[in-house]
Amino acid sequence: MELLVKKAKRGDAEALISLIEQNKQSMYKVARGFLDNPEDVADAMSQTVLDCYEKIGSLRQNAYFKTWMIRILINNCKDILGKQKRSVSMEEVPEPESRTDNGGREFKELIEPLNARDRSIFTLFYVYGMKVREIAAYMDMKETTVATRLKRGREALREEMAGSRE
């Protein structure tokens, strides 16, 4: 195996393919331990092959190729799991009810003056009932940023509504 690693480090793609083939079963078992979805397992494995090809030169000790490759695979599995936590499937999100304020305006119409990001935050908070923490994770923002945007958005809408009543 060390001979194949040396060849792979010198740019021999066939040697790297042989190494991957020898370890394919172990890679699958590790990835399957982390991920439930077979497509995610395949994604993690293919990303690992690509990473190994690109970073084979960074392997310090040839004898530890398998350990190095499995560590890359585990990191790729964790990345996939992290992305799944931050994303919300549209199937999981319930259809919003039509909401109106006291003046009879639709919710979408009411939040129209806000910028797109703030409209998204308002929709997730008021229509879908998500918590600030969940919105922050979903939108990759700090919780304080989400809370501040909600507060400023409410103030802007209050001013807008006061101006439209006069």
**Mind giving me the DSSP string for 103-162?**
T--BHHHHTTTS-HHHHHHHIIIIIS---HHHHHHHHT--HHHHHHHHHHHHHHHHHHHH
- pTM score, two decimals? 0.52
User: Within a 13 Å sphere around the CA of 152, how many CA atoms are in the beta-carbon half?
Assistant: 13
Predicted local distance difference test score (pLDDT) of residue 87: 59
**Choice among 60-69, 126-135, 143-152 with the minimum mean pLDDT:** 126-135
Q: 2-86 and 107-165: same fold?
A: no
Q: Give 166's pLDDT tier (boundaries 50, 70, 90).
A: low
CATH number of the domain at 2-86, please?
A: 1.10.1740.10
* Structure-model confidence comparison of residues 102 and 139, the more confident one: 139
Predicted local distance difference test score (pLDDT) of residue 46: 93
Q: What is the DSSP code (8-state) at residue 165?
A: H
Predicted local distance difference test score (pLDDT) of residue 99: 46
User: What are all long-range contacts of 86-92, with beta carbons under 8 Å and residues at least 24 apart?
Assistant: 86/137, 86/138, 86/140, 87/138, 88/138
Question: What is the C-alpha to C-alpha distance for residues 62 and 64, in angstroms, rounded to an integer?
Answer: 5
CATH number of the domain at 107-165, please?
A: 1.10.10.10
User: Which amino acid is present at 31?
Assistant: A
- Taking only the tens place, the pLDDT of each residue in 5-60 is 888 888 888 988 999 899 898 888 888 888 888 999 999 999 999 999 899 888 88
Residue ranges of domains in the chain: 2-86, 107-165
Report helix, strand and coil shares of the chain as percent, to nearest 5: 75, 0, 25
Q: Are 93 and 128 in contact (CB under 8 A)?
A: yes
Task: Report residue 20 CA to chain centroid gap.
Answer: 27
Q: Is 124's pLDDT higher than 90?
A: no
- Taking only the tens place, the pLDDT of each residue in 60-117 is 888 888 889 988 998 998 888 888 776 555 555 555 554 444 444 577 778 888 887 7
Question: What is the C-alpha to C-alpha distance for residues 162 and 166, in angstroms, rounded to an integer?
Answer: 7
The candidate with the shortest Cα–Cα distance to 40, out of 96, 79, 97, is 79
Please name every residue paired with 100 in a beta bridge, in sequence order, or none if there are none. 106
